[in-house]
Amino acid sequence: PSAYLAPGEAWMIIAVTGTPGVGKTTVSKLLSEKLGYEYVSVKDFAFERGIGEMVGEELEIDVDELAEAMSREFHGRDVVIDGHLSHFVPADVVIVLRANPKLVVGRLMERGYSREKLAENVEAELVDVILVEALEENENVLEIDTTGKTPGEVVEEISELLERGIKRRFGIVDWSGVYDEVLPYLRLGSG
Ligand code: ADP
Ligand code: MG
């Protein structure tokens, strides 16, 4: 129970999703602190429970198994779930964080992503992959542009929308204008 819930509404599961590098972990932790909610990372949760398997260096998570285990565990609790698969978990609202693909390039390069993984993720951000997935999974989707904002400002924007009872808003970004600039990082043809 918190100040952000309408009377009668009991607990809330908030999923924070988006392309790697958009700021999910930073924002989720800060949001959970602000709301007094628990913070949970999809990756840690799945790893601890043996959901999914290691494929090479990566944990491949079965999303159905994840969704089932998380809804069982977090039913009746206030929680912020952080991860690029969090929109597959039944949640009261899905927050889709967006960031200019140029920022995604910089952040993922800094993380030492391979060219291939970089391309895959920059492309995903460019063409709204996670947003589209989230809309297929949940009625309540809030898209937030983090570009040029501080994590604190992003958290402020999210909590303000929730406070006003707004749980569906999208179509607020258009990255087509930066396509040319990120083109060198995309995987085109067999190059
Ligand atoms: P993700 O979990 O989506 O991969 P992280 O939170 O780990 O992203 O990393 C995002 C990076 O971007 C951090 O270094 C963070 O400080 C920075 N950043 C800059 N501005 C923002 C913002 N408005 N919201 C979230 N992160 C931001
Ligand atoms: Mg993260």
Per-residue pLDDT of the chain (191 residues; tens, 9 = 90+): 455 555 445 579 999 999 999 999 999 999 999 999 999 999 999 999 999 888 888 889 999 999 999 999 999 999 999 999 999 999 999 999 999 999 999 999 999 999 999 999 999 999 999 999 999 999 999 999 999 999 999 999 999 999 999 999 999 999 999 999 999 999 876 55
Q: What is the ipTM of this complex?
A: 0.99
How remote is the CA of residue 97 from the centroid of ligand 2, in Å?
Answer: 11
Residue 37 DSSP symbol:
-
Q: Which of 19, 25, 26, 33 to mutate to test the pocket of ligand 1 (most atoms within 8 A of CB)?
A: 26
pTM of the model: 0.94
Closest ligand to the CA of 111: 1
Residue type for position 115: R
Closest ligand to the CA of 110: 1
How remote is the CA of residue 38 from the centroid of ligand 2, in Å?
Answer: 16
- Residue 27: other Cβ atoms inside 10 A: 25
